[in-house]
Amino acid sequence: MQIAIDGPASAGKSTVAKKLAHNLNYMYLDTGAMYRGVTLEFLKDDIDLTNEELISQKLKNINLTFETVDNQQHILINGVDKGQEIRSVAVTNLVSDVASIKQVREFLVAEQRRIAGKHNVVMDGRDIGTTVLPNAEVKVFMLASVEERAQRRLLDYQRSGEEISLSQIEKDIKSRDYKDQHRAISPLVKATDAVELDTTSLSIDEVVEKLKKIIEKR
């Protein structure tokens, strides 16, 4: 079975998708981490995002894999765990631009479909139900208020030791939403057959339970 969870940044998709996959004994695939991984590599080599030839060449040298340690999924970039680095402010502020690049999307969508074809999978992102897995048996579109999402992101930054104001985070989230919704390739939209779920003020466990009920109905 394929379960697709889409929604804007910091709507809680990854957190609940991981827990849901664990409860169902399915594979969880963090597509956001894949885009962040590519973004980190582009930043490291100061890749010009308008240079298609350079981008294509760089992608050929990026190998993304996942491994699970103590029930936690880690993304490895060319064999090295970059779990903390991909969550930096610099990566967060650039990942939407990188995700809008045609070569990047083609590269990662192919990888995501390949993995999903081998497992029962829970996958979250921006275009899973519309582009990556259009035939997924269950599709959910998760929402939360900008204020709620900013608070969640603030906690993430605090845990990683980065200092940034709540107002700046809210501004960044609004900017990210606009970019995701207006990009030319696979913009953030709700699939016509997706169930909408607002997670504002809901705990992780409450969201997971709601997702289970949606799955049971389908």
Q: Summarize the annotated binding site for ATP as residue ranges.
A: 7-15
Distance in angstroms (rounded) separating the CA atoms of residues 116 and 97: 25
Alpha-helix residue ranges (DSSP H) falling in 45-136: 52-60, 89-99, 102-116
CB-neighbour burial class of residue 29 (10 A; exposed 0-12, middle 13-18, buried 19+): buried
Report residue 166: phi and psi, to 5°. -65, -40
> DSSP assignment, residue 131?
I
Q: SS3 of 19, please?
A: helix
Q: SS3 of 65, please?
A: strand
Known binding-site residues equal 7-15
CB-neighbour burial class of residue 61 (10 A; exposed 0-12, middle 13-18, buried 19+): exposed
Q: SS3 of 35, please?
A: helix
CB-neighbour burial class of residue 45 (10 A; exposed 0-12, middle 13-18, buried 19+): exposed
- Pull the structure tokens for residue 37: 């991984």
